[in-house]
Amino acid sequence: VRGLKKTYTEKQNAVILLEIKNLNLRLTLIRNMQLAGVLSLFLSVFAMLLLFLEQQVAGIYLFGLSLLGLLISLGLSFWEISISVNALRLHLSDLIQK
């Protein structure tokens, strides 16, 4: 990140600015993906506790919410991977054009 910022400050290259924007979006997606994953795990553990305490209805609903959190985390992961591939293509575009 620091290297990209320094290079952009020196050269004012549009490709580097796009790389910085992609990286910023990816960092946001990774943070949100991790939050959704941790929340999913927490809800899953709490659901197991409720099922252990014979609170089936609440446990089932909480487990459903944990699965939803996991799906959100996986969706964000897929989105981040897609952006990462596009960022690599952007980074290599000047080499391919030569």
How does residue 87 score in pLDDT terms, banded at 50, 70 and 90?
confident
* 8-17 confidence digits (pLDDT tens): 667 777 777 7
Q: Residue 95's pLDDT is what? A: 73
**CA–CA gap between residue 28 and residue 91 (Å, rounded):** 20
**CA–CA gap between residue 48 and residue 26 (Å, rounded):** 33
* pTM: predicted TM-score of the whole model, two decimal places: 0.77
Angle at 28 between CA 23 and CA 33, to 5 degrees: 120
